[in-house]
A and B are shown apart, each in its own frame.
Chain A
Amino acid sequence: RKEVEQDPGPFNVPEGATVAFNCTYSNSASQSFFWYRQDCRKEPKLLMSVYSSGNEDGRFTAQLNRASQYISLLIRDSKLSDSATYLCVVPTPHSGGSNYKLTFGKGTLLTVNP
């Protein structure tokens, strides 16, 4: 299994739709997780952090299933402005666990249509 694997997409949904992205990770020692958003030709920006079973922020819900090594991001009532690439990010241990690096998934492109 790859370190971080995401739905390849792209996803095209109408405004108001609910859309979910999935992400799996290979290292069971990973403890915290992130979803970043990247607009076209811009830098990634943190969308949500996930430290326990899940996190909710308005229309966005992130869920974590440690047993299955699976993270999801749910967007409800999609807006045109949600169109972006969503990156699943997993800290993976390095050098015996004292150092970590963030491993980014390849991203899932979402386009919300009027």
Chain B
Amino acid sequence: EAGVTQSPTHLIKTRGQQVTLRCSPISGHTSVYWYQQALGLGLQFLLWYDEGEERNRGNFPPRFSGRQFPNYSSELNVNALELEDSALYLCASSLAGGAGEQFFGPGTRLTVL
């Protein structure tokens, strides 16, 4: 069974640009989560989508946004990139509920120059 997939694996952008990251959950999982992991720091919760709706949001500015599609895949959009947005962006999926085990994708490593 395929795990969580993310694309692209690496991305280099410059300040002020916009980026879209993509995630496909495990088949049968309806919840998708996004996390940011900056170098040397822990996972910071960004967003949680379930059944196409945003269920919870972490302490990030509005330029971080996303959506979930009818097939449960998800996009994370970051506008007006800043240097400190450089990080590993991880997507995870789970069966609905939010309190259950989450399975992570390999991540997208974003570098902002």
Contacts and interface: CB of A to CB of B under 8 A. Distances in A.
A49 B98 contact: no
User: For the side of the interface on B, what is the size category?
Assistant: 20 to 34
B2 interface: no
For chain A, what secondary structure do more than half of its interface residues adopt (helix, strand, loop), or is it mixed? strand
Interface string A33-48: 0100000011111100
Q: For B41, B90, B101, B107, which residue has the most chain A Cβ atoms within 10 angstroms?
A: B101
B64 interface: no
Interface in B70-113: 88, 90, 97-107
A60 B104 CA distance: 21
Contacts, number: 54
Q: Interface SS of chain B: helix, strand, loop or mixed?
A: loop
Interface string A84-104: 000100010011000111111
State which size class the interface on A falls in. 20 to 34
Contact of B101 (A49, A101, A106): A49
Contacts of A87: 42-43
A31 B106 CA distance: 28
